[in-house]
Chain A
Amino acid sequence: KAGVTQTPRYLIKTRGQQVTLSCSPISGHRSVSWYQQTPGQGLQFLFEYFSETQRNKGNFPGRFSGRQFSNSRSEMNVSTLELGDSALYLCASSPGEARRHGYTFGSGTRLTVV
């Protein structure tokens, strides 16, 4: 059974550019969440999607956006990149009741902004 797949694994972008990260959840999982991980702030919640609807949003500026498709795949977009956006972006999926089954995280996309 394939796990959560995130692409690309590594990305280098220049300040001011925009970036799109992709997440394919485990087959059958309908819930997808995104987290940002940095040494300074730790793991911070970005968004949560369920059946193409954003259910929760964390305290990030509007430059951070996301969406979920009908096949449960999700993308997140960061516009006007800043140096501080350099982080490991993690996607997690769950069958539906995330707090009963827990989240399964992908290995993340390492974004470096220069």
Chain B
Amino acid sequence: EPEVTQTPSHQVTQMGQEVILRCVPISNHLYFYWYRQILGQKVEFLVSFYNNEISEKSEIFDDQFSVERPDGSNFTLKIRSTKLEDSAMYFCASSEGHYNEQFFGPGTRLTVL
């Protein structure tokens, strides 16, 4: 069964460093998303991406964040200068359409020291 994959599973970085989280969505899906879950809190929407551009972003998704689909398969989230409060599980998701169920990857645990 097709699935969303994410790498790395765990990323440790120093505050102020740049990180890139990678995702491979399900191949025939057209909509891509990033969510995050800070420990003990809700899963929060960050950004949606369709047709090579951002469709919607939350207030969390500020200028330190960017997304890219560098080729036909990968979907990346970059945090330019990480802060302690960026420590969270980051989930990538994809869907066939924006009104379809979203399938989530296993997540990347980001730890900012």
Q: Do A and B bind each other?
A: no
Binding site for A on B (CB under 8 A): none
